[in-house]
A and B are shown apart, each in its own frame.
Chain A
Amino acid sequence: MSDYNDMEMMIAVASRELEDGASVGVGTGAPCAAAMLAQKMASPNLSIFFEAGGVSPQLPEMPISVGDSRTFYKAAMAGSMGDTMEACARGFVDYTFLGGAQIDKYGNLNSTVIGDQKKPKVRFPGSGGANDFGSLCWRMMVLTPQDKKRFVETVDFLTTPGYLEGGNSREESGLPIGTGPYKIITNMAVMDFAPDSKRMRVISLNPGFTFADVQENCGFELLQADNLQQTKPPTAEELRILRDEVDPNRYVIGR
């Protein structure tokens, strides 16, 4: 048995993607934990943007809402949603983390409905700020459990753009050039997107998993990088900070 759980693994892996000096648009939950962990590890100069207007807070604890008072605690600025999203639109925000009920092989996300939009079988929150962040930040990442029900051939509703239909279709749609999904981080693997086809590609396997395991828990055919890596598990230091400082109440990392 490993001495960490899936969520701790995913958060640690995600946090390492946020290099010092970068900027990231985050929501509540695991993405926020990843940003906080990054700040306390290798990236003390990470700028965190919340969609409701908080810029570069020193988060005292996990926010419950992306607009609660924690999101602008000791912040550089308590701005507005326009301030944050306009910064994204101008190209100031490097990363964002998103999630959803479904993701397809081009990194397109569904967080709106299952079934008919007019009389849905299941209604979810919709875009919120996800489409905005996913359209306008440079690199979009997704933290999600590896599961056939989530990784689907076609999303029921395309809420937030990944690479749309692959190839150049994202740029052709009019979305800002050079943006798009970057890494998909699951409990089993880390994926990126093949340069030309823009199809999801496994680049790193988490300890204990094979490519076949990942493929078996995915509803579409995955590509495999030539040089498959092993994902580094969370270090003792990462786990200590995550458990003692980032999420002492274990809201996100669980028990």
Chain B
Amino acid sequence: MKHVNSWVYRLKNNKGTMNIIDQGQGTLFTDPEPDKARAVFREKNRQMVNKVMEVKEAVSTFVHDGDYLGIGGFGANRTPIAIIHEILRQGRKNMGLAGHTATHDMQILSAGEAYDKLDAAYVVGLEARGLSSCSRKYLESGKVDVTEWTNYALTLRMKAAAMGVPYIPARNMMGTDTFKYSAAKLAECPFTGTKTVLLPALYPDIGIIHVHEADIYGNARFRGIAISDLDLASASKRLIITTEKLIHHDEIARDPSSTNIPYYMVDAVCEVPFGAYPGNMAYEYFSDEEHLKEWLTVERDPEAFAAFLKRNIYDCPDHEAYVAANGGARKMRELRAKELLTFTEED
């Protein structure tokens, strides 16, 4: 009995009995406390109600200045571009950003200087295409508070949030400056003595994810790789789904095992055909490499870049206008051929 009592005592009064060996000096931008997140999720609507709205309304209702943003997909693959453009059009500022596989999505947000807090895992680059001078200059300006992580670390932080726990242990980042400039802690495992990095749960204020199909309630499904979208969907306090097309709920109900994201997590559903353009949407259209190259080239010239942004974002009322301004249906047919040539080839 004495044992039990002392255990209860420790539990109540000793916040840190686990031996913390070291900790990163980076800023922790979001609160990992699970009971605060539970209080938020408790208030969310669990009813299957029609959540369809225009992108403009979804952003004005659910995305606010200062919000911490998590973006689905992988930079320029199945990324909700329409929402990101609208965030610029509505002039959001001082946002936090999960720089998880962040490529073209971050390039757009850097152009609008929409964020000033960044959890950096993969940032600035567009992979094999090269580095974005716009994102780079913005980070080099010193205007952004940057905390370092890794792609897997940010995935795990969202997984912890999805699990409703305050942190998750992992075995990456140890011994490096990536750890030193993170907000992680290093601790000895109480079971094995193994050193583990403790990654704090990440609950984004707003998550945005693009999918192939969704019904009006937000039951959503995508094809191809999930990247980190299932954890992002679960971890986000508010969630906007953009979908290539709306489908009837009967279609979801006919095949519920294909649902990736269930309605109760979702706050808004926006139908946006070609919504990942100029990125790649698996089985639908390949990325528009010419247009992405134009981005990387034009952003080096401030005047030309301002005109480019005006033409492609600020003067476009919506994503349809953006796609139309860059070749419209004809371009999308080309990109579909590029994607499907691969997938329709004989075995």
- Type the 1/0 row for B75-111, where 1 means its CB is closer than 8 Å to any CB of A: 1110000000000000000000001010100000000
Question: Interface segment, A50-58, A214-222, A233-241?
Answer: A50-58
Q: Which of A89, A128, A136 contacts B121 (CB 8 A)?
A: A128
A174 and B195 contacting across the interface, CB-CB below 8 Å: yes
Instruction: Among B131, B171, B289, find the residue whose CB has the most chain A CB atoms closer than 10 A.
Output: B171
With contacts A73-B342, A127-B151 taken as known, whether A161 is within 8 angstroms of B175 at the C-beta atoms is yes
| Chain A residues, CB < 8 A from B339 | 69
Q: Does any Cβ of A come within 8 Å of B217's Cβ?
A: no
Q: Does any Cβ of A come within 8 Å of B122's Cβ?
A: yes
A126 and B74 contacting across the interface, CB-CB below 8 Å: no
A126 and B172 contacting across the interface, CB-CB below 8 Å: no
A135 and B172 contacting across the interface, CB-CB below 8 Å: yes
B123 and A69 contacting across the interface, CB-CB below 8 Å: no
Q: Does any Cβ of B come within 8 Å of A173's Cβ?
A: yes
B280 and A60 contacting across the interface, CB-CB below 8 Å: no
Q: Does any Cβ of B come within 8 Å of A183's Cβ?
A: no
B342 and A132 contacting across the interface, CB-CB below 8 Å: no
| Chain A residues, CB < 8 A from B155 | 80-82, 85
Closest CB of chain A to B335's CB: distance in Å?
A: 11
Q: Does any Cβ of B come within 8 Å of A255's Cβ?
A: no
A80 and B123 contacting across the interface, CB-CB below 8 Å: no
B225 and A117 contacting across the interface, CB-CB below 8 Å: no
Indicate the size class of the contact surface on chain A: 35 or more
Closest CB of chain B to A102's CB: distance in Å?
A: 12
Question: Interface segment, A1-9, A138-146, A152-160, A200-208?
Answer: A152-160
B136 nearest in chain A by CB position? A123
Q: For chain A, what secondary structure do more than half of its interface residues adopt (helix, strand, loop), or is it mixed?
A: loop
Task: Report Cα–Cα, A119/B155, bound state, in Å.
Answer: 26
Closest CB of chain B to A43's CB: distance in Å?
A: 21
Closest CB of chain B to A143's CB: distance in Å?
A: 14
| Chain B residues, CB < 8 A from A112 | 148, 177-178
A28 and B227 contacting across the interface, CB-CB below 8 Å: no
| Chain B residues, CB < 8 A from A121 | 140
B227 and A67 contacting across the interface, CB-CB below 8 Å: yes
Q: Does any Cβ of A come within 8 Å of B295's Cβ?
A: no
| Chain A residues, CB < 8 A from B343 | 69, 73
| Sample of 8 further A-B pairs with CB below 8 A, known A123-B136, A124-B125 | A65-B76, A65-B128, A68-B77, A70-B342, A127-B121, A127-B149, A128-B121, A251-B128
**Residues in chain A within 8 A of chain B (CB atoms):** 27-29, 51-54, 60-73, 78-82, 85, 89, 108, 112, 117-132, 135-136, 157-161, 164, 169-170, 173-176, 251
Cross-chain pairs A/B with CB under 8 angstroms, 13 sampled? A65-B127, A69-B280, A69-B282, A69-B286, A81-B101, A81-B151, A89-B172, A112-B177, A117-B181, A124-B124, A125-B123, A129-B122, A161-B175
